[in-house]
């Protein structure tokens, strides 16, 4: 295992951290039911620790009817039986901490399941103590929804409830009613949830869809969005000016940060998407009294990765005083595998190697999705096996999230060593051939390179938390420097398939990927040079 950061360092542990995202349904199944669980995660934490990451982020494992696979929460303070028990969670946290890994968990403050006790109370009538815990509105005189807001998954963001004779709002599925986070009582209840998990020893939170947690109280119509690209969802026809991204989120964010500060170096990262993402990301993380970081969508949904796009994206976070700290990811549970988006099939192996070196060189926190260290590709799930409600609703125009959520291959066998039962999603031969057991002892494997690159980042002050300077994009050549006191590293990457000349620069080679030298970079290659 690589050297862990010095606990006496003035930097908080999370600044520049490498974080490994675990999607619990798909990581490891310990009981043969075909669904991953907490005990399965615990059994494989040695593998995660071997990557030289600083923390794990675990996607939701709470009690849920699983309509949206855990992001529809019915009880924030308990474990769904398919994943295990609270005792299993405590064992997981203890084992992670023994291995030097911090534990970050998802918190979903924008909505709950319609089976949550809060919603059951709220929908009974308009006078009960929790009546205003969700977003309710009267119909228009003709009985139609109160405004034009649309759901991410298609159709109006409103569903009629006969008990209250009102509509309730849902940005996502109708089974995910929108919490009214502007209500102080709701905020207090959500802070109590955070405290419950902090008391159990977690080290941070990823705050899901945080800018969706408040709405315009006047329920004004969203304006029309003007796009030249084709749109597959009604949601994309609007600028979400009133249905999300409200200024009242800032005081609530400060309350979250204040609670976390009481527990020490707790890491908080907001998922922020939408029309005003960059503005909100910076507002949510400004200064020392708000969130630690914000999670960027820039690379996750980009159909291409070019030097110019990277240079423009990272330039938005130059590191000015008071500016927040970015977090970057190329893949996650909602975004397709990067090697299947960004290169031709015959170049996947080379591209995966260049990509991990590039990610590790970026300024900010970096987040790897499970299997990214193996170079996994996007699986093609036939319609009859689809589980993802968004993919089913928009088939075939929405690329299925199931294709990135397929089980982790531990061994090169039909079930990948993931389960002894029937896996909830199928594994492909192409990905089982990249299994951990196949790559583990191969010094030339993608897994070995990932360990090498992340260990180098962890031990290098410049790569971990230094400034990023002199970023240029010249054709397919991306060049920048990572700089800290006493260390300067020049990073060069060729993001195209053809060889190109290197930059005129000297220095000691710290890392070469794909045969790169200072003078020439073959297709999809990269190099770090210490000056």
Q: Over the stretch 18-60, which tens digit does the pLDDT of each residue have? A: 999 999 999 999 999 999 999 999 999 999 999 999 999 999 9
Residue 418 and residue 507 in one domain: no
Residue 428 and residue 510 in one domain: no
Residue 221 forms part of a structural domain: yes
Place of tokens 């390179």: 449
Last residue of one domain, picked from the residues 404, 431, 456:
456
Last residue of one domain, picked from the residues 456, 476, 502:
456
Q: Above 60 in pLDDT, residue 7?
A: no
Three-class SS state of 156: strand
Residue 441 and residue 498 in one domain: no
Beta-strand (E) ranges in 182-314?
A: 204-208, 267-271, 293-295
Two structure tokens written together for 453: 């690159």
pLDDT score for 231: 80
pLDDT score for 295: 87
Question: Higher model confidence: residue 390 or residue 462?
Answer: 462
Residue 346 and residue 495 in one domain: no
The catalytic position among 29, 54, 88, 208 is: 208
Residue 425 and residue 341 in one domain: yes
Residue 258 and residue 395 in one domain: yes
Residue 152 forms part of a structural domain: no
Confidence of residue 209 (pLDDT cuts 50, 70, 90): very high
Residue 28 and residue 71 in one domain: yes
The catalytic position among 262, 288, 504, 508 is: 262
**Number of H-type helices and E-type strands within the chain:** 17, 20
Of 124-138, 194-208, 384-398, 475-489, the one with minimum mean pLDDT is 384-398
| Domain of residue 430, CATH code | 3.20.20.80
Domain count across the chain: 2
Question: Higher model confidence: residue 400 or residue 215?
Answer: 215
Residue 93 and residue 241 in one domain: yes
Q: How far apart are CA 29 and CA 23, in angstroms?
A: 12
pLDDT score for 178: 98
Average pLDDT score over residue span 443-471: 97
Three-class SS state of 14: coil
Residue 268 and residue 404 in one domain: yes
Question: Higher model confidence: residue 388 or residue 55?
Answer: 55
Residue 365 and residue 499 in one domain: no
Q: How far apart are CA 65 and CA 410, in angstroms?
A: 28
pLDDT score for 3: 33
Whether 208 is catalytic is yes
Residue 82 forms part of a structural domain: yes
Q: Above 50 in pLDDT, residue 2?
A: no
pLDDT score for 228: 66
| Predicted confidence (pLDDT) per residue in 482-493, tens digit | 999 989 999 999
| Domain of residue 487, CATH code | 2.60.40.1180
pLDDT score for 397: 67
Three-class SS state of 189: helix
Residue 192 forms part of a structural domain: yes
Nearest-10 crossing angle of helices 277-285, 249-261: 40
Confidence of residue 398 (pLDDT cuts 50, 70, 90): low
Question: Higher model confidence: residue 233 or residue 335?
Answer: 335
Q: Above 90 in pLDDT, residue 214?
A: yes
Nearest to 52 by CA among 16, 89, 104, 85: 16
Q: What is the pTM of this model?
A: 0.96
Rg (CA), the chain: 23
pLDDT score for 270: 96
Q: How many CA atoms lie within 13 A of 526 on its CB side?
A: 25
Residue 452 and residue 472 in one domain: no
Contact status, residue 401 vs residue 333, Cβ threshold 8 Å = yes
Q: Above 60 in pLDDT, residue 1?
A: no
Residue 89 forms part of a structural domain: yes
Structure letter (DSSP) for residue 407? P
Whether 262 is catalytic is yes
Residue 483 forms part of a structural domain: yes
Q: Above 50 in pLDDT, residue 329?
A: yes
Residue 157 forms part of a structural domain: no
- The answer to whether the bond into 377 is cis (omega within 30° of 0) is no
Nearest to 258 by CA among 281, 280, 288, 286: 288
Last residue of one domain, picked from the residues 456, 488, 521:
456
Residue 2 forms part of a structural domain: no
pLDDT score for 125: 96
Residue 365: domain span: 18-111+184-456
pLDDT score for 8: 47
Following DSSP, what letter does each residue of 121-168 receive, concatenated? Answer: HHTT-SSSTTTTSB-EEPPPTTSS-SS--B-TTSSBSEEEETTTTEEE
Q: Which residues, 6+ apart, have CB-to-CB distance to 197 below 8 Å?
A: 77, 105, 107, 205
Two structure tokens written together for 485: 């006191």
Residue 449 and residue 357 in one domain: yes
| Predicted confidence (pLDDT) per residue in 74-101, tens digit | 999 999 999 999 999 999 999 999 999 9
pLDDT score for 9: 56
Of 176-185, 293-302, 327-336, the one with minimum mean pLDDT is 293-302
pLDDT score for 5: 42
Q: How far apart are CA 527 and CA 512, in angstroms?
A: 4
Q: How far apart are CA 296 and CA 321, in angstroms?
A: 20
410: how many CB neighbours lie within 10 A of its CB? Answer: 23
Averaged confidence pLDDT in the chain:
94
pLDDT score for 531: 87
């Amino acid at each position: 295992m690589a050297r862990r950061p010095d606990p006496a360092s003035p930097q908080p542990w999370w600044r520049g951290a490498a974080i490994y995202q675990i999607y619990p349904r798909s990581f490891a199944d310990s009981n043969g039911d075909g669904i991953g669980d907490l005990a399965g995660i615990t059994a494989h934490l040695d593998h995660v620790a071997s990557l030289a990451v600083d923390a794990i982020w675990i996607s939701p494992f709470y009690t849920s009817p699983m309509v949206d696979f855990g992001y529809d929460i019915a009880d924030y303070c308990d474990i769904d039986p398919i994943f295990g028990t609270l005792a299993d969670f405590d064992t997981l946290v203890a084992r992670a901490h023994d291995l030097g890994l911090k534990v970050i968990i998802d918190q979903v403050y924008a909505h709950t399941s319609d089976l949550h006790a809060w919603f059951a109370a709220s929908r009974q009538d308009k006078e009960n103590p929790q009546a205003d815990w969700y977003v309710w509105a009267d119909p228009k005189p003709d009985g139609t929804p109160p405004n034009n807001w649309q759901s991410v998954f298609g159709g109006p963001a409103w569903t009629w409830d006969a008990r209250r004779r009102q509509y309730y709002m849902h940005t996502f599925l109708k089974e995910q009613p929108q919490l009214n986070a502007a209500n102080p009582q709701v905020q207090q209840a959500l802070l109590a949830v955070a405290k419950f998990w902090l008391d159990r020893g977690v080290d941070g939170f990823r705050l899901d869809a945080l800018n969706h947690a408040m709405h315009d109280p006047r329920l004004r119509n969203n304006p029309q969005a003007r796009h030249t690209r084709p749109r597959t969802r009604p949601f994309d026809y609007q600028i979400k000016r009133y249905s999300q991204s409200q200024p009242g989120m800032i005081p609530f964010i400060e309350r979250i940060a204040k609670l976390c500060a009481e527990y020490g170096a707790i890491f908080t990262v907001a998922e922020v998407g939408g029309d005003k993402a960059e503005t909100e990301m910076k507002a949510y993380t400004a200064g020392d009294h708000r969130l630690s970081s914000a999670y960027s969508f820039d690379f996750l949904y980009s159909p291409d990765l070019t030097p110019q796009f990277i240079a423009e994206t990272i330039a938005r976070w130059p590191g000015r005083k008071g500016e927040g700290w970015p977090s970057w990811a190329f893949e996650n549970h909602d975004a397709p595998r990067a090697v299947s988006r960004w290169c031709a099939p015959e170049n996947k192996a080379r591209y995966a190697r260049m990509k991990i070196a590039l990610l590790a060189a970026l300024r900010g926190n970096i987040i790897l999705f499970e299997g990214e260290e193996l170079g996994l590709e996007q699986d093609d799930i036939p319609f009859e096996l689809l589980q993802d409600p968004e993919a089913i609703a928009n088939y075939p125009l929405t690329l299925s999230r199931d294709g990135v959520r397929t089980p982790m291959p531990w061994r090169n066998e039909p079930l990948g060593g993931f389960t002894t039962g029937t896996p909830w999603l199928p594994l492909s031969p192409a990905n089982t051939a990249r299994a951990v057991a196949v790559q583990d002892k191969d010094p030339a494997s993608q897994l070995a390179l990932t360990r090498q690159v992340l260990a180098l980042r962890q031990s290098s002050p410049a790569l971990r938390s230094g400034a990023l300077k002199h970023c240029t994009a010249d054709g397919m050549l991306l060049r920048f420097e990572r700089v800290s006191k006493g260390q300067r590293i020049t990073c060069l990457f060729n993001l195209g398939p053809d060889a190109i000349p290197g930059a005129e620069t000297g220095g000691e080679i710290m890392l070469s990927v794909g045969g790169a030298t200072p003078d020439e970079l073959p297709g999809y290659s990269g190099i770090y040079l210490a000056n």
